[in-house]
Chains A and B, each alone.
Chain A
Amino acid sequence: MATTTATITISSTDLLTDELALSTTATLTAAGNSTGLVGSGGLGRKRLASGHAQYVLFDGDAYANGAHKIYLKNTSTTAAEYFTIEINSEQMGKLYAGDWAFFPWEANADTNDIKIDPSADDMVLEYMILIDE
């Protein structure tokens, strides 16, 4: 069985009086059991040229309902450039230059697509899906 782990570390020495040092690791498994995730779309990279507004990155119709995990990173170095992340038609948030996101995706409906909308031309998104098959 494959083993896939995701570790996050959040740290700050000056946000609070007490130093913030948060770190945790999750071993990624299928829904409701201890079997490791068995699928991956691999690490991808996509340049969104002019006319690619609201690009469907992952189509809800193409995945079964499950404990999928999504990784996204905006590789831009221009601070004002962002990708708007949407699920179906609901805006999750804006991924600014250098920012990354990692979240579960249920794909519980055909319309539950993950869409990205770049704020400028020629922005590059790095992405990966870990699949609960």
Chain B
Amino acid sequence: MATTTAAVTLTSDLLSDNISVNASTTCMKAGTTADGLDQIEYGYVEIASGTAYDIIGNTPTASKASKLYVKNHSTDETYYISVVLDAQAIGRLYGGDWMFIPANFHDANADVEITATGGTNKIEYALFHEGTVLVAS
């Protein structure tokens, strides 16, 4: 069994009581404590401004516990990618921002699409999953 851990630390002085949130999880297959996610797609792409791109080339099976990590390596604060899930906007990842979400790709339309704005955005992504179904051409 592969063991992959993902940890987050959030810190801020926004409040009188400083925010210091720590969480860590071992990335497991859906509904189990015995078997970890054992497959990965890990890539890096440069996307020209105005270009829309499906960041995941095939569709993992539904009802799984896949995890998707995306980081925008652009250093210009005005550059961003719009992250869209099946035509539903999630949010924008500006230069330096990252995200980590559960992604169960519940149907064939549930692709994660990114669109670059501002210039050529440099994007790193990793999908931790437990199996994929190839999309029909």
Mark B residues whose CB is within 8 Å of A. 2-15, 19, 21, 23, 25-26, 28, 30-33, 38, 40, 63, 65-67, 69, 71, 77-78, 80, 82-83, 85-94, 96-104, 106, 110, 126, 128
Contacts and interface: CB of A to CB of B under 8 A. Distances in A.
Main secondary structure of the interface of B (DSSP, over half): strand
Kindly list the 8 A-B residue pairs having the minimum CB-CB distance in the complex, ordered from nearest: A104-B91, A93-B102, A90-B88, A4-B12, A12-B4, A103-B99, A15-B2, A106-B91
Give the interface size bracket for A toward B. 35 or more
A12 B25 contact: no
B14 A7 contact: no
A31 B8 contact: no
B21 to A, nearest CB: 6
Q: Is the interface of A mostly helix, strand, loop or mixed?
A: strand
Contacts, number: 193
Nearest to B97: A26
A31 B91 CA distance: 11
Contact of A128 (B3, B10, B82): B10
B83 A102 contact: no
B106 A91 contact: yes
A45 to B, nearest CB: 12
